[in-house]
Chains A and B, each alone.
Chain A
Amino acid sequence: MRKFLEGSHAVAEAVKRCKPGVISAYPITPQTHIVERIANFVANGELNAQFINVESEHSAASVVLGAEACGVRAFTATSSQGLILMSEVLFNIAGLRLPLVLVCANRALSAPINIWNDHQDAVALRDSGWIMVFAENNQEVHDLIYQAYKVGENPKVMLPVMVNMDGYILTHGMEPVDIPDQALVDKFLPPYNPPYKLDVDNPLSLGLLGDPTVYLETRYALQKTLEEIKDLIPKVGEEFKQLFGRKGLEFVEGYKIEDADSVILAMGSVCGTVKDFVDKKREEGEKIGLLRIIVYRPFPKKIIYELLKEKERLFILEKAISLGMEGPLYTEVKSLFNKPSPKMYGFIAGLGGRDITFNTLEEMLKVGKDKEVSCYFLDVDHSLLKDEFYV
């Protein structure tokens, strides 16, 4: 069934078909449409689930944690301040090895308060042990929900998955979305049946005190699982493709990179703009391409290295920054290459919802012609910075 949907509703339709037993969330723009639509499904009997209206994101994450610990599939969604408020619980969920799925409608962090899109919220959680994926469009975010549960709930994985979608740009943007039949989803995603859970017939203690003799091994195990997932992810993507007849989960997407000498790296919906920009530059005779990173954690080190090691220039375009350092993606990509390596240029753009346009991208290429930069802010309005208070 093909429907014209805003991204939030594309998420809700997928969540409904995954049949979670417990849903809990707290309102925050631009996430709210997702849970409002899910609440509607529950209110109308289209989805049999417990919908828990909590008093904070901290409790939303804790409610779904409790449900997952009972072996019940659960869902939550949030954004920005909500994600950061949840952060304590999110680390905990990964440590408890509970395969929750969370959708983050990516939004800037306060102060100043700003409800528009960038990736700072999710990127701040990159060390939490969650699997993290970034969608480019509404169809992809819809499809990622099914695959997120499938990957996370694999008994060899048992890890939570954060599905990221750009706030407003995707959550509120309308696109046609192919929605599969329930029967097909049921075939792809079996009921959740975890190897451990809270059960009175087999009483386990979960969340024990891990002293210095055991704690380190729990972190080692998390890291090992995230490394080993590398084989599972393309398998799940392939299975999805076979069943649904659409592109499945992949670590990265290369766009016209085979013969390119310059490659732009980016994540999320801006890649749509970048693809158009690549087409334009190719018409002008430049050999340029895009490498879109879909799976940000586990970070696809080998894949990126193999695809890009022979390129001349890499333009890393980020909507987040590790303040006092540089864009985290730039740091990570740079760490993959020994000399001789491609020349690398780090750019910060689009923070707090600033539009990334062809002009932005032209400026990026122009800066790259002159010098190697590690943390260059694009589209800065220097007239706003005259006040000595700011600089």
Chain B
Amino acid sequence: MNSMSESTISKHFEEHFFVSGHTACSGCGQALAARLVVDAIGKNNIVANATGCLEVFSTKCPQSSWRIPWIHSLFENAAAVASGIEAALRYLGKIDTVRVCAFAGDGGTADIGFQALSGMLERGHDVLFCCFDNEAYMNTGIQRSGLTPFQASTTTSPAGKVWKGNWRLKKSLVEIVAAHFIPYSASASVGFPQDLQRKVKKAISLRGPKYIQIHVPCPLGWGFDSSLTIDIGKKAVLSGLYPLVEYEGGKLTKVFKLSQKIPVIDYIKPQSRFRHLLKDEEALRQLQKVADKNIEYYKLGEV
């Protein structure tokens, strides 16, 4: 290794708190988002990470991509472990200088981890919970979760002769979390990195429980070319299928306005999980209706 590349490497380690060398798939939206989040928070931050892709691809013993203190315990308890860390910091008198984050996938947040999350919110712990929403159980091979979108084909909600993919709407988790009347509950997307980092910084400036649900496209699980991650992320938002919203104290305070609205077909076309809709006009119309309803409900189109 020559000295030039060494200095490049050490610069890289200095600048980021989540560094490369991990085993994520190419184009992984979650890896990008994780780095954006921890870089926005900085050094004085402890992370409790649930079981899932992020934990698996970032910490294959003896290596770790994390340059901040990090712990993984189980699948469903990230919020509770983070609560314990926060309590310990409070006891140690360090709660004003060290921030606590909990990271989990959509399954670890909306399904199996939901009880622990609700408990953490209700108790008022000073923790930022980030849900990396790739819309299925990816680590175990693309099974349906409560955040899998309407009509998406997964290995446990496959599109077939009878089924048209997932037959339920995505759980309104940002709203459910906001209903705990916590300081901040928001959705964000890795497709809009500046908006994501602004939300993270805003969240950590507030005391108490905060929640950010980050849309992270998954090339393998959604079936798209790994160069399209950011593009797909943007299109999800612009189609109205993934509204970016902010709740403060339980009240909707801000939405990401759609200056250039696109039809859902532009979003789903490159993804094999929606392929069955391309031959099914009625099903496609229903999905467009979901987007239209979002746009109407959150007033995404009004400038």
Instruction: Name A50's contact: one of B73, B91, B119 (CB within 8 Å).
Output: B91
Question: Which of the 9-residue segments A28-36, A54-62, A291-299 touches chain B?
Answer: A54-62
Q: Mark A174-215, 1 if CB is under 8 A from B, else 0.
A: 000000000000000000000000111011111111110010
Q: For B98, what are the chain A residues with a Cβ–Cβ distance below 8 Å?
A: 200
CA distance A49 to B91 in the complex (A): 7
Shortest CB distance A201–B (Å): 9
Q: Is A59 touching B61 in the complex (CB atoms < 8 A)?
A: no
Q: Is B73 touching A96 in the complex (CB atoms < 8 A)?
A: yes
Q: For A199, what are the chain B residues with a Cβ–Cβ distance below 8 Å?
A: 69
Best-buried of B48, B82, B83 by chain A (most CB within 10 Å): B83
Q: For B72, what are the chain A residues with a Cβ–Cβ distance below 8 Å?
A: 206-209
12 A-B pairs in the complex with CB atoms less than 8 angstroms apart: A50-B91, A54-B80, A56-B116, A62-B81, A66-B83, A69-B85, A70-B85, A72-B88, A89-B77, A200-B46, A206-B71, A208-B59
Interface residues of B in 51-74 (CB under 8 A from A): 55-56, 59-62, 64, 66-74
Q: For A11, what are the chain B residues with a Cβ–Cβ distance below 8 Å?
A: none
Q: Is B62 touching A21 in the complex (CB atoms < 8 A)?
A: no
Q: Is A56 touching B115 in the complex (CB atoms < 8 A)?
A: yes
How many chain B residues touch the partner (CB < 8 A)? Answer: 44
Residue of B nearest to A72 (CB): B88
Residues of A within 8 A of B (CB): 21-22, 24, 48-50, 52-56, 58-59, 62-72, 74, 88-89, 92, 96, 198-200, 202-211, 214
Residue of B nearest to A24 (CB): B84
CA distance A210 to B51 in the complex (A): 13
Residue of A nearest to B60 (CB): A209
Interface residues of B in 75-117 (CB under 8 A from A): 76-77, 79-92, 98, 115-116
CA distance A54 to B60 in the complex (A): 31
Taking A198-B46, A205-B69, A205-B70 as known contacts, 5 extra A-B pairs with beta carbons closer than 8 A to each other, sorted by chain A number, are A48-B91, A66-B88, A72-B91, A209-B56, A209-B72
Shortest CB distance B241–A (Å): 32
Best-buried of A58, A92, A205, A211 by chain B (most CB within 10 Å): A205
Q: Is A65 touching B70 in the complex (CB atoms < 8 A)?
A: no
Q: Is B115 touching A66 in the complex (CB atoms < 8 A)?
A: no
Supposing A54-B119, A89-B74, A208-B60 touch, asked if A198 and B84 sit within 8 A by C-beta, the answer is: no
Q: For A204, what are the chain B residues with a Cβ–Cβ distance below 8 Å?
A: 69-70
B194 within 8 A of A: no
B43 within 8 A of A: yes
Shortest CB distance A169–B (Å): 31
Shortest CB distance B286–A (Å): 37
Q: For B76, what are the chain A residues with a Cβ–Cβ distance below 8 Å?
A: 58
Q: For A63, what are the chain B residues with a Cβ–Cβ distance below 8 Å?
A: 80-81, 83-84, 87
Q: Is B69 touching A92 in the complex (CB atoms < 8 A)?
A: no
